[in-house]
Structure 1
Amino acid sequence: MSKFNRQHTHARNALTVTHEGGKAYVRDAKSELVLLAVVNMVGEDTFYESATERDNRYADLVHTVAVDDGAWTARFVAWLRDEAQMRSASLVAAAHAVWARLAEGKHGGNREIVAAACRRADEPGEFLAYWTATFGRAVPKPVKRGLGDAVRRLYTEKALLKYDTDSHAFRFGDVLELTHAAPDPDKPWQGELFRHALDRRHGRDAQVPEALPTVAARAELMALPVVDRQLVPTRSDGPAVLARAGMTWEALAGWLQGPMDAAAWEAVLPSMGLMAQLRNLRNFDRVGVSDEAAQQVVDRLRDREQIARSRQFPYRFLSAYRAAPSLRWAYALEQALAASTANVPPLPGRTLLLVDSSGSMQGAVSARSSVTHADVGALFGAVLAQRGEQVDMYGFANGHFRHEPARGGSVLPSIEAFRSRLGEVGYGTETVAALRATYDGHDRVVIISDMQAFRYPGNGARGVSVSEAVPESVPLFGVNTSGYAPSALDTSRPNRYEIGGFSDKLFTMMALLSEGEAARWPWERE
C-alpha cells in the first residue's frame, strides 16, 4: 500500500465543523486540492491557517492525488498554470507530485508534469530553487528532462535579458548546466544563446554572437556613458532603440541611474506589458505622462482581445482603479474589467446573491496586494448582479444589508460602494441566518464566501448546514475564495456545487452546471 495514500485519507463529505464551529463537510482529496490550488498564493498566512499549515496541507493533498492518479495530476497541473493562472501553486504542485511519485517508484509521466508547470522563462530556475530547497541538491532525471523541455521552449534573447540577473539563485547558465538542455534544432540561434548564457554566468567576457541582435543592442546601450543616457528617451527614435534592446522599465530605471521622468516612461511605455502598465498608472500620473502617451494604455485596456490574451485576474483592474489618482483611466479600466469577466453568465430568472463581508474575508488575497477577499466577492457579485436577469444582492456577516448596483452602471464604483458598508453588520459569518432572512423563492442561490460559517442551532448536535437552508430543488453555488477545509457546503447533496478561484474561468463552470451538465473537472470540458 502506498505510504502517501495510507497517511493522508480523505473521506468524501464526512461530517465535521468549520473553523467557526458551523456544520461542515470534508471534501474528497481531488476536490479539496483543486479548490485550494486555485486560491493558493503559497507561503502566505491566511485568516484561519498559517503559511506553514496551508503549504503542508497543499503538499499532502498533492502527494495523495499524484501517487493515486498521475494522469489526472498532469492535466490538473497544466490547467492550473495555463487556465487558472496560478504560477507558484502549479510549480509547487508539480514538484511535490514528481517527488511523491518517484518515492513510490512511479516513473512514467513525471517529465510532462514538470514541463507543464513552466510557462515563463524564469520558471525553470524557480522550479530548481524550490526543488533543491525542499528536497535537496539531487535532481532526478525526469525533473532535468522536463526542465530541459521547458528551456528549449522558453529561453529567448529577451527572456535572457529580463530574467537572467544576479538576484536569482539559479541563473540561466545554472539551469542549462544542471539539465544538460540541448538547443531546439528548429531554432538555429538558440545554440548561440545557450553558449552566451553560460559565458554570462561564468563571467567570461566573450563577444556577443551576431545571431543575438537583441543582446548586442543591449550591450551597445550599456556601453554608453551615464551622462549620455538621459538623452536616449528624448530622441525621436528613443522608443525604437529601447525596444530593439529588449529594455524593460525596470532595466531602464537602473540603466539611467537617475529618476524616471515623463520622457523615460513615454519612451518605454510601448514596450511594456499590460501588467507592468497597470502597476505603473500612478507613476505615469505622478511624473506627468502626456495624454497622447497615456492613450496607448487606454486603447489597450479597451481592446477586448488584448485583455483576453493578457489573462489578468479581474481584481487587478480594481487594484489599478484604486491606485491611479487620475480619472483618465477610469472608463478604460471599467471596459477592461468587463472584458476580463466575459465568462460571467447572464443568469436567467431570479437569483439570490450573498457576499460574505465577515472579518475573515477582509484579509488581502496576498501580501503584495491591497485587494481583499471581500473585494473579490464584491467584484464578482457586482458583475453577476449587473448581468443577471433579476439579482438580489446582499452583504452579510452577523446581519445583512441589501446592495443595489445600478443596472447598466459602472461596476468599479459599485464595488467601492459595497466596500464602504463593510463592518456595519458585524464581523461574524452567520450564513444560514442570512439565507433564511433573504431567500424568497429564488431560482438559484450564489454565495461568495470562504465557507467558514458559524453554527446555526437546530435539532442535530452540529445544527443546520448551509446546504439545508434552502429547498433541495434550488441550485446553490458556493464560490469559495479561500480553499479552507472543511467547507460549510455539502456537495454530495443534489443541486449543491462548490467552485473557486480569482479568475472568471470559475464562472464557466457555473454556466455549464446551470445548464444541467454533469459535474466534471474543468480541463475535461475543453
Structure 2
Amino acid sequence: MAKFNTTTAKPAVTGPITSAGPAVTYEGAAGVARDARSELFLFAVANMVGEATFYEAAGDRDARYAQLVRQVAIADPEWIAGFLTWLRSRANMRTASLVGAAEATRALLTAGKPGGRQLIASVLLRADEPGEMLAYWTGKYGRAIPKPVKRGIVDAVQRLYTEFSLLKYDTAAHGFRFADVIDLTHPTAAADSPWQGDLFKVALDRRHKRDTALPASLPMLARNAELRARVAGNSSALLDADALKAAGMTWEDALSLAGAQVDKAAMWSALIPSMGYAALLRNLRNFDQAQVPDDVATAVAERLSDADQVRRSRQFPFRFLAAYRAAPSLRWGHALDKALNLSLSNVPKLPGRTLVLVDRSGSMFDTMSARSELTRADAAAVFGAALAARNPGQVDLVQFGTRSHSVDVRPGESLLRVIDRFSNLGGTKTRTALHKWYAGHDRVLIVTDEQAWAGDGDPGSAIPPHTPLYTWNLAGYQAGHGATGPYRHTFGGLTDAAFRMVPLLESGRNGTWPWE
C-alpha cells in the first residue's frame, strides 16, 4: 500500500508571510512573531490610520506602522515600492498608503537613497490627496519640504487637478487647499493639458479672494458660477439634471444651496444621473427619506448591481452590508445583495470539504473606524458566509468565541440574511473550536484577529499536520496565533483578493506577494 502517493497528498508549498520566532498574543497565548515585511503587509491591509483597535491605542498603532515602513524601506526599497503602489491601487487603503509613502520617503532621504518621488506619486490617486500628503508631512516634519516630496506631488497634481476636482475638493474644510499645494510645490501645466495653467491661477485667486474673470478654457467653472447665480434667485434651477452635470455641481453643494423650499425628491432625481457609485451607496437613506420615485430608484438599483460599476468602484464588501443596514426601505435589498456577491468575485470554488471558522469574540466587535458602525466581526461574517455560499454543501461554517455554533447557509439564500445569524460569542478559543469541529475536512480557513486566549494554543496543532490551514487576519496585530510554513498559511485584508491565494497554493505553487 502506498504511504505517500495517495489521492489526498498535497504539496508542501509556502505563502509569502514568514514567521520569525515565538511571541505572545495580547491575551497572553503563545504565538509567533513575523518578519518585518510580513508584519507590515498584514498590518497595512487592515490599517485605518489614526484609529484605535481593541488591543492597541491609535498612537501606538500609528507609531508601529511608521517604524515598520521605515525599516522595510531601507532594507528592501524595491519591495516597498511595489507594496505601496498595490496598497493604494488594488487594496484601496488610501490613508495607510499615503502615510506609508511619506514615511518610506523620509527613511530613504535620511539614508541618502533615491526613490521618494516615485513613492509619493504612486499613492496620490485622488485630487484631494496632494493636500493630504502636505498636511501629513508638514504636521510631522515641518514646512521644509524635500524635493522628492515636492516632485512626487507635482506629478500627481498634473494628473489630478481638473475643473471638476477643483469644484469638488477645493473647499474651506481643508487646511491645504489647491492654492496652497500650488504655492508650495510650483507645478506647471501638464504638456497635454495647457488649460491647467489657467486652472492653477483660478485656484490661487479663489484662495486669496481675488475677483477675476473666468477664462474661456474653463467652461465648467463658468457654468457652475452661472448656475449658482440662477439658484440665488430661483432654487428650482437645481432640478435641471443636464445643467447640474455641465456645471460639475456635486450633491453636497446642491444640498447646501437648495434650502428648505426645494422638492427634495425632484432634486435627488436630478442629481442622481451624475452621482458616482460611492455617493449612490452612501445616500440610499436620503433617497428613501426624500421618497424618490420608483423609476429613479430602479435606475439606482441597476447601477448598484452592475458588475462593471461594482468592479470599478472598488468598494470593500462590507460597505454593501453597511448600506443595507442604513437604508430604511427594502427596495435596495436585492441590488445590494447582488452587488455584495459581485464584490466577492475572488471567493473560490474549492474541491472537497472545507471548515470555515469565523471569529466572533469581543475584540472583533471593534468598529473599523470612528465614522463607521461596522466591525471586523461584520467583515469576518461576510467572508465566511461568502465561502459557504460559493461552495454549497461543501463548507461547514462555524462561528466561535469561548463557545461555538454552526451557521446554516441555505441554497440561493441572500448573504445579507445569513450575516444576521452571527452573534457575539465572548472570548477567543480558536484551537478549542477547531478541535471540536474538525472532521477530516480537506482544508480549514479561519477568519480572525488571531488574539487567542492564554492556554488555548496553536490552532494548527488541533488538525493533522498535512491538512492545509489558512488564517485570514483582519486586524494586523504584531503576534499571530501560529507559525507559517508548509500547510500553514496566513493572509489578510478587507477585500476578497486574498482568497486568490488558496487555489494557487493548492495547485502546488508557492504563494507570492500580490503585486509580483
Q: What is the TM-score normalised by the length of structure 1?
A: 0.93
In structure 1, the gaps of 5 or more residues are: 1-9, 458-463
Distance in 1 (CA, whole Å) between partners of 2:187 and 2:504 is 42
SS in 1 for 2:467: coil
| Runs of 4+ off more than 3 Å | 257-260
**1:382 aligned partner:** 385
- SS in structure 2 opposite 1:429? coil
> What amino acid does structure 2 have at the position aligned with 1:513?
L
Query: 2:281·2:304 contact (CA, 8 Å) conserved in 1?
Result: no
1:237-252 matched pairs, under 5 angstroms: 238-252=240-254
Instruction: Give matches, 1:81-480, under 5 Å.
Output: 81-106=88-113, 108-224=114-230, 226-229=232-235, 231-234=236-239, 238-258=240-260, 261-388=264-391, 390-418=394-422, 422-423=423-424, 426-456=425-455, 464-480=457-473
What one-letter code is carried by the residue in structure 2 that aligns with 1:437? K
- Alpha-carbon distance in structure 2 between the residues aligned to 1:391 and 1:272: 39
Query: In 1, are the aligned partners of 2:227 and 2:237 still within 8 Å (CA)?
Result: no
> Offset of 1:146 from its aligned partner?
0.3
Tell me the CA shift for residue 513 of structure 1.
2.2
- Could you tell me whether the CA contact under 8 Å between 1:489 and 1:498 is conserved in 2? no
Residue by residue over 1:402-444, the C-alpha shift from the partner in whole angstroms, topping out at 9 and shown as x without a partner, is: 10111221111001122xxx23xx4110001001001111000
Q: Deviations over 1:38-59 (max 9, x none)?
A: 1100000100000011000000
Q: Report the CA distance between 1:516 and its aligned residue.
A: 2.5
Deviates more, 1:293-302 or 1:124-133: 293-302
Mapped contact 1:436–1:469 kept (Cα < 8 A): yes
Q: Percentage identity across aligned positions?
A: 51
Maintained 8 Å contact 2:69/2:104: yes
- CA shift digits 1:37-83 (9 cap, x unpaired): 01100000100000011000000100100111111111111000000
Task: Give the letter for the 2:475 counterpart.
Answer: S
Secondary structure at 1:417 match in 2: coil
Partner of 2:489: 497
Aligned mate of 1:516, from 502, 508, 511: 508
SS in 1 for 2:331: helix
SS of equivalent to 2:230: coil
Give the secondary-structure state (helix, strand or coil) at the position aligned to 2:470: strand
Q: How far 1:336 sits from its partner (Å)?
A: 0.5
Q: Which residue of 1 aligns with 2:80?
A: 73
Q: After the TM superposition, which residues 40-55 of structure 1 pair with which residues of structure 2 at under 5 Å, given as runs?
A: 40-55=47-62
Q: How far did residue 514 of structure 1 move?
A: 3.0
Tell me: CA distance 1:119–1:11, structure 2 relative to 1, closer, same or farther (3 Å).
closer
Query: 2:452 matched to 1:482?
Result: no
- CA distance in structure 1 between the aligned counterparts of 2:291 and 2:458, rounded to whole angstroms: 55
Tell me the TM-score normalised to structure 2 length: 0.94
Look up the equivalent residue of 1:56 and give its one-letter code. A
Please give the alpha-carbon distance, in whole angstroms, between the structure 2 residues aligned to 1:246 and 1:449.
43
CA contact (8 A) 1:433 1:456 kept: no
Would the aligned equivalents of 2:356 and 2:445 in 1 still touch at CA under 8 Å?
yes
Q: Name the SS for the 1:506 alignment partner.
A: helix
| Aligned mates of 2:299, 2:411 — CA distance in 1 | 30
Give the deviation of 1:302 after TM superposition. Answer: 2.0
Matched letter for residue 498 of structure 2: L
- Kindly indicate whether the alpha-carbon contact (under 8 Å) linking 2:231 and 2:238 is maintained by their aligned counterparts in 1: no
Gaps in structure 2 of 5+ consecutive residues: 1-16
User: Out of 18, 27, 32, which is 1:20 matched to?
Assistant: 27
Confirm or deny: 8 A CA contact 1:71 1:109 kept in the other structure. no
CA distance in 2, matches of 1:500, 1:350: 22
User: Whole-Å Cα distance in 1 between the matches of residues 503 and 382 of structure 2?
Assistant: 18
After superposition, give the CA deviation of every residue in 1:358-402 in whole Å (9 maximum; x if it has no partner): 000111111111111111111010110011250001000011001
Distance, in Å, in 2 between the alignment partners of 1:514 and 1:220 is 61
Distance 1:347 1:455 in 2: 33
SS state at 2:502 partner: helix
User: What is the alpha-carbon distance in structure 1 between the residues aligned to residue 153 and residue 320 of structure 2?
Assistant: 33
Alpha-carbon distance between aligned partners in 2 of 1:105 and 1:19, rounded to the nearest angstrom:
37
CA-CA distance at 1:515 after TM superposition: 2.4
Deviation at 1:233, TM superposition (A): 3.4
Task: Give the 3-state SS of the residue equivalent to 1:370 in structure 2.
Answer: coil
- RMSD (CA atoms): 1.4
| CA distance in structure 1 between the aligned counterparts of 2:503 and 2:101, rounded to whole angstroms | 29
Deviations 1:462-511 (A, max 9, x none): xx3122221110111111110001010211x3111111111111212233
After superposition, what is the alpha-carbon deviation per residue over 1:71-119, rounded to whole angstroms, capped at 9, x for unaligned? 111111100000000000000000000011111211x111000001100
8 Å contact from structure 2 (residues 19, 483) kept in 1:
no
C-alpha separation between the residues in 1 aligned to 2:65 and 2:448? 20
- Who is 2:5 aligned against? none
How many residues were matched structurally? 498
